Amino acid sequence: MAKVVYTANAHVTGGRQHGHGRTDDGVLEVDLRPPGGEEAGTNPEQLFAVGYAACFEGAIGVVARRQKVEADDVEIDSEVDLVTTEERGFTVAVRMNVTLPSIDDIEEAAELVRNAHQVCPYSNATRGNIDVRFRVNGQEL
């Protein structure tokens, strides 16, 4: 049976145009603005990019420990595109550039990332719904 490990709570008013969001613990508090605007603030795509990359880095750590591989120096640059659909809606697409300096063998690094993609909650939530692509140590997966 599934067990809830953690629940995040946030409150948002005003949406992405001129909104404000905060977590119930007060640690995260942001003004929300549309992408590319002049006003100070962040947008949901930026928040998603940070959240997915942080989650994926954690998944790499879990898988590296399971595989007995050293990967404490991982870095991830994530990009999240806001994309229009033919149905006049929107979706997102993700590109993750994963750098594993301590792993010289590209196949070993690629296997670690592929396995992390099976473990990461964000990957599991988005699989089959959006385009997610990876680069590992400069190589396309």
Cα→Cα distances 126→71, 92, 102, Å: 24, 10, 28
CA dihedral 78, 17, 82, 115 (to 10 degrees): 40
Q: What is the CATH number of the domain that holds 12?
A: 2.20.25.10
Give Cβ neighbours of residue 34 (< 8 Å, ≥ 6 apart): 16, 17, 43
Counting the structural domains of the chain, the total is 2
Q: What angle do CA 21, 25, 28 make, to 5 degrees?
A: 40
1: pLDDT confidence band, cut at 50, 70 and 90?
confident
Looking at the fold, whether 90 and 23 belong to one and the same domain comes out as no
pLDDT per residue as tens digits for the range 3-59: 999 999 999 999 998 999 999 999 999 999 998 888 899 999 999 999 999 999 999
Residue-wise pLDDT for 60-78, tens only, equals 999 999 999 999 999 999 9
Q: Quote the domain boundaries for residue 57.
A: 44-140
- Bridge-based pairing of strands 131-136 and 19-23 is unpaired
User: Interior CA angle at 121 toward 79 and 15, to 5°?
Assistant: 60
pLDDT of residue 36: 83
Kindly report the pTM of this predicted structure: 0.93
Q: Are residues 56 and 121 in the same domain?
A: yes
- Residues 9 and 68 placed together within one structural domain of the fold: no
